[in-house]
Every structure is written in structure tokens, then in C-alpha cells.
């Protein structure tokens, strides 16, 4: 349950504010200067105080023809209509430059919105939907260029902040008869360079310091022993990005400093480490190593997730053990050790955002884009944070208490 007296946090600039300080604008009617019409100025006195715990419903008759929205008093962006009730759940997607974060975000959202709705009920999800305007932003910047045109997404420009992608998610209540639990899932795509640069970390990647959970995309193409196993056509043509261990270390140190935590203390966040570009693993993994080889099917492709029976912890853990072993064997043992030592809980997985490799000659991905296992890390985080629940997992109550 949200504390109604607590200050609200903007999912775009992460500044805190009271609801009474928000001006309400019309998104359908304009003033004489062509600006969106103010339907309710910011509040003063007692109304400003009551607004915080009994917020005016924007669906109220008076407002209906305006499609009204509250504006963030700090960054002036339109706030989600459900800011009055939903907490923000920022999931940080981290990794070095070129590790595949942007493609993973594109594929994760495609998976959540279009691939797994058939299994929502089994998974304990009621709905996942983009907030108004986010749908268009996602289609323009991610879906059309990648899924429709089969082209590469452009690299993020270091030092610039892209608009977060915000989705409302509702989960089945933990006890029958209770209200569904809802949150605004906030995903922000940052440049890998900013994650390993202290100044930019605070300037453009500071939202990460508000994250409730992290997904770290580890680029297998940073490992010399992986590159050695790849055929010529699949070897990287560009210099590899930052070492994942450097990115993780920078994040750990900045997060501790931001939260006033002691050196050596454990970060109270779950971390899902995901081996990216999982479509390449079939070229690398030796069949004789049966545990690691369980990541790969007969077609030498990463085995896709199967949610027909919901999210099964024993299956996730099985893949986690195999993925961890892969990382240990292919140059990333120090990363595994660091992750295990610095975070409250850690798991491992392997994902493929695109299903195939980019073909420089044709300027397109080799086959139509078909993501695999992309929702796994997020579903695991939702379980760890107590939003989703099955008998076999005990959520950390601290994680729920702390919106
Ligand atoms: N084979 C393969 N390549 C990928 C995949 N995801 C990304 N890539 C490649 O990695 C490059 C960098 O990805 P990008 O998402 O821009 O990395 P970012 O800098 O971490 O955001 C892309 O241009 C793709 O060619 C994947 O799932 N499989
Ligand atoms: Mg990117
Ligand atoms: Zn704001």
C-alpha cells in the first residue's frame, strides 16, 4: 500500500513534488497562444494540502472534454494519469557500450506487449500497457527500425538523456479479494559510456540510483575466448565496449555513495545478469559440457522460455546455473564473483534480443527479429521484489516497503 502522504516522484526527472503543485493542462484544447489550456492552476493553502491525500480525479465531469493531465512542476513533462496511486519501479538496464542494451530494451518490450500476453494469467500478470504517448515513442524509436525494417538501432549519444519508457503493470493480488497491485515500470535507455564515466553517471544516468532492480547485459563479444570460437563472419568488426566488470564497479561505488552506504556493504537490490546476443552461443558452447550445453537446443539456438505453466523458479534456476558457469568459463569469473559479493540477490540468464546476427553486407539482421528469453530477467526481478509470487519464493519485504 502506498503512503498517501509521501511526496510523489516524477518518472522522468526523479524530482519529488506534492500533487497540489501540479498544474492540470488540457491535451485537447488550446489558449489564444496555441498553448495547451490550463484547466486547473496549481493549488494554494488547504486545497494544496488535501490534494496530496485526496487527489482530484481527472476523469471528473468538468475535465472530461479536455483529457486533462498533471504536469511535473520540475521538468514540465506530462505526468502519467496514475501518478496519484502508482509507485514507480525503475529497472536499470546496464552494460558496456555495444553490449546490446538498446536492442534488449526493444525486444523486452516487444516480448512483454506482444509475445507473452497469452501467459499473463499463468504468470500472475493482469496487464502491462504503455502509458499514453509511450506507445508511439516505442514504435518510432525501437519497433519500426528493428522489427519492421530489420535494421540496427542507432547508438545512444553519450551525455544525453533519452525519455524513459513507462508502462503501467498490474499484478494479481497476493490474497484473494484484495485490489490488484499496480506500478509504473520505468525503463530508461542510457549510453554505455555514461555508465562508466563518473560525471555522466550522476548527470544522465542518475535515474539508476533510483532503480529497484537491475538487469546487466553482458556482451559475450567482449570475451577473447568467445571471439576465438566464432567463425570469421561472426567476429566483431568494431572494438569492444567497456569491460562489464568496470561498468558494474562504477555502478556499485556510485550507488553506495548516493545512498550513504559504507564501502563493502551489500546493495539492497536484486541484480539479474543476462548474457546478451545469446544467438551466438551455439557457435561457442561445446556439446560435451552438458550443463552449459543445456542452454542450447538441437538447432544450436538458445532455448526459448516456456511460460505455459507460468514462471517456474526451478527452470529459471537451472538456466541461471548454466549461464553462471558459461560466464565463469569464458573470462567473466571476476564479474560473477563481484556481482555475488555486492548485491542482495543475483541470478544469471542468457537472452537473445534479435535471434540472429547483423549482416554488414545486406545492412539487415540475418533473419526476422525473434527475441528469446528476454522477459526472464524482468520476471525474476518482479518475483524478487514481491510483485509476483509463487509458493516457492519468499519475497524480501524490505523491497516492497521502499517505493
Ligand atoms: N547477434 C546479436 N547481436 C546483437 C543483439 N543485440 C544487439 N546486437 C548487436 O550489438 C550492437 C550493439 O547493440 P546496442 O543495443 O546498440 O548496444 P548498447 O550500446 O548497449 O545499447 C548492435 O548494433 C547489434 O548489431 C543480439 O541479440 N544478437
Ligand atoms: Mg544503446
Ligand atoms: Zn519531472
User: Ligand 1 pocket, 279 CB below 6 A?
Assistant: yes
CA of 190 to the centre of ligand 2 (A): 6
Q: Evaluate if residue 3 carries a pLDDT over 80.
A: no
> CB of 153 closer than 6 A to ligand 1?
yes
Query: What distance in Å separates the CA atoms of residue 250 and residue 241, rounded to the nearest whole number?
Result: 15
Report residue 399's pLDDT band, with 50, 70 and 90 as the boundaries: very low
* CB-ligand 1 contact for 98 (6 Å cutoff): yes
The answer to whether 208 and 92 have CB atoms below 8 angstroms apart is yes
pTM of the model: 0.91
CA of residue 17 to ligand 3 center, whole Å: 9
CB 373 within 8 A of CB 351: yes
> Coil, strand or helix: which one is 162?
coil
* pLDDT for the residue numbered 62: 57
| Owner of C-alpha cell 567463425 | 231
Kindly give the number of the ligand 1 atom that is closest to the alpha carbon of 155: 16
Averaged pLDDT, 63-75:
84
CATH superfamily of domain region 87-401: P-loop containing nucleotide triphosphate hydrolases (3.40.50.300)
Per-residue H/E/C for 72-103: CCCCCCECCHHHHCCEEEEEEEECCCCCCHHH
Please indicate whether residue 352, judged by its CB atom, sits closer than 6 Å to ligand 1: yes
Domain boundaries, the chain: 8-81, 87-401
The predicted-structure confidence for 34-50, as pLDDT tens digits, reads as follows 888 898 999 999 999 88
Look at ligand 1, atom 26, and give the residue with the nearest C-alpha. 277
373 lines ligand 1 (CB under 6 A): no
The confidence score (pLDDT) of residue 61 equals: 53
Query: What integer pLDDT is reported at residue 71 of this predicted model?
Result: 95
- Identify the CA nearest to 52 among candidates 83, 87, 90: 83
**Which residue carries 559479493 as its cell?**
341
Average pLDDT of 91-104?
Answer: 94
- Nearest CA, atom 4, ligand 1: 277
Integer Cα distance of 152 and 129 in angstroms: 25
CA distance 323 to 275: 7
The Cα–Cα gap between 108 and 130 comes to: 13
User: What is residue 43's three-state secondary structure?
Assistant: coil
179 vs 279, higher pLDDT:
279
Say if CB 104 and CB 374 are below 8 A apart. Answer: yes
Ligand 2 centre to CA of 43 (Å) is: 40
Q: CA 139, 96, 304: angle at the middle one, nearest 5?
A: 60
Give residue 76 CA to ligand 3 midpoint distance, Å.
Answer: 6
Residue 265's pLDDT is what? 94
181 lines ligand 1 (CB under 6 A): no
Quote the percentage of the chain above a pLDDT of 70: 93
- 280: pLDDT strictly greater than 80: yes
Give the bridge partners for 358, in sequence order. 365
Q: Which atom number of ligand 1 is nearest to the Cα of residue 357?
A: 1
Distance in Å from the first CA to the final CA of the chain: 10
pLDDT tens per residue, range 207-264: 788 899 999 999 999 999 999 999 988 999 888 888 999 999 989 988 898 889 999 9
Look at residue 57 in the predicted model and tell me its pLDDT. 82
Q: How far does residue 252's CA lie from ligand 1's centre (Å)?
A: 24
Whether residue 155 has its Cβ less than 6 Å from ligand 1: yes
Q: Separation of 255 CA from ligand 1 center, angstroms?
A: 26
Distance 219 CA to ligand 1 centre (A): 9
The pLDDT assigned to 401 comes to 36
Verify whether ligand 1 is closer than 6 Å to residue 102 (CB atom).
Answer: yes
E-strand ranges in 111-209 read 125-130, 165-171, 181-188
* Residue 152 CB–ligand 1 contact under 6 Å: yes
Task: Report helix, strand or coil for 348.
Answer: strand
Q: Which residue has the cell 564473483?
A: 337
Amino acid at each position: 500500500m502506498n503512503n498517501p502522504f509521501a511526496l510523489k516522484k516524477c518518472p522522468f526527472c526523479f524530482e519529488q513534488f506534492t500533487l497540489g503543485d501540479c498544474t492540470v493542462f488540457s491535451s485537447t484544447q488550446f489558449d489564444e497562444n496555441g498553448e495547451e489550456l490550463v484547466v486547473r492552476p496549481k493549488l494554494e493553502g488547504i486545497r494544496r494540502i488535501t490534494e496530496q491525500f485526496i487527489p482530484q480525479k481527472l476523469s471528473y465531469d468538468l475535465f472530461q472534454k479536455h483529457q486533462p493531465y498533471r504536469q511535473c512542476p520540475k521538468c514540465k513533462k506530462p505526468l502519467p494519469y496514475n501518478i496519484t496511486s502508482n509507485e514507480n519501479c525503475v529497472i536499470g538496464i546496464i552494460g558496456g557500450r555495444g553490449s546490446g542494451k538498446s536492442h534488449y530494451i526493444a525486444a523486452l518490450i516487444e516480448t512483454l506487449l506482444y509475445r507473452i500476453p497469452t501467459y499473463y494469467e499463468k504468470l500472475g500478470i493482469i496487464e502491462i500497457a504503455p502509458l499514453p504517448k509511450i506507445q508511439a515513442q516505442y514504435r518510432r524509436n525501437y519497433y519500426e527500425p528493428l522489427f519492421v525494417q530489420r535494421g540496427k538501432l542507432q547508438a545512444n549519444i553519450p551525455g544525453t538523456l533519452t525519455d524513459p519508457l513507462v508502462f503501467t503493470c498490474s499484478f494479481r493480488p497476493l490474497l484473494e479479494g484484495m485490489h490488484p497491485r499496480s506500478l509504473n515500470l520505468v525503463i530508461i535507455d542510457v549510453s554505455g559510456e555514461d555508465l562508466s564515466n563518473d560525471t555522466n553517471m550522476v548527470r544522465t544516468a542518475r535515474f539508476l540510483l533510483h532503480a529497484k532492480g537491475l538487469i546487466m547485459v553482458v556482451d559475450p563479444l567482449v570475451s577473447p575466448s568467445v571471439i576465438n570460437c566464432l567463425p570469421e563472419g561472426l567476429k566483431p568488426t568494431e572494438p569492444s565496449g567497456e569491460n562489464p566488470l568496470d561498468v558494474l564497479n562504477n555502478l556499485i561505488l556510485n550507488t553506495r555513495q548516493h545512498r550513504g552506504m559504507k564501502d563493502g556493504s551489500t546493495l539492497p537490490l536484486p541484480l539479474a545478469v543476462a548474457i546478451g546476443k545469446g544467438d551466438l552461443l551455439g557457435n561457442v558452447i561445446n556439446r560435451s559440457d552438458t550443463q552449459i550445453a543445456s542452454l542450447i537446443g538441437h538447432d544450436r539456438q538458445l532455448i526459448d522460455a516456456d511460460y505455459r505453466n507460468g514462471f517456474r523458479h526451478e527452470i529459471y534456476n537451472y538456466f541461471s546455473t548454466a549461464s553462471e558457469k558459461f560466464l565463469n568459463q569464458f573470462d567473466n569469473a571476476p564479474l560473477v564473483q563481484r556481482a555475488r559479493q555486492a548485491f542482495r540477490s543475483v541470478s544469471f540468464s542468457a537472452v537473445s534480443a534479435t535471434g540472429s546476427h547483423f549482416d554488414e553486407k545486406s545492412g539487415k539482421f540475418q533473419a526476422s527479429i525473434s527475441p528469446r528469453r528476454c522477459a526472464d530477467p524482468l520476471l525474476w526481478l518482479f518475483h524478487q521484489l514481491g510483485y509476483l509470487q509463487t509458493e516457492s519464493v519468499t519475497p524480501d519485504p524490505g523491497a516492497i516497503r521502499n517505493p
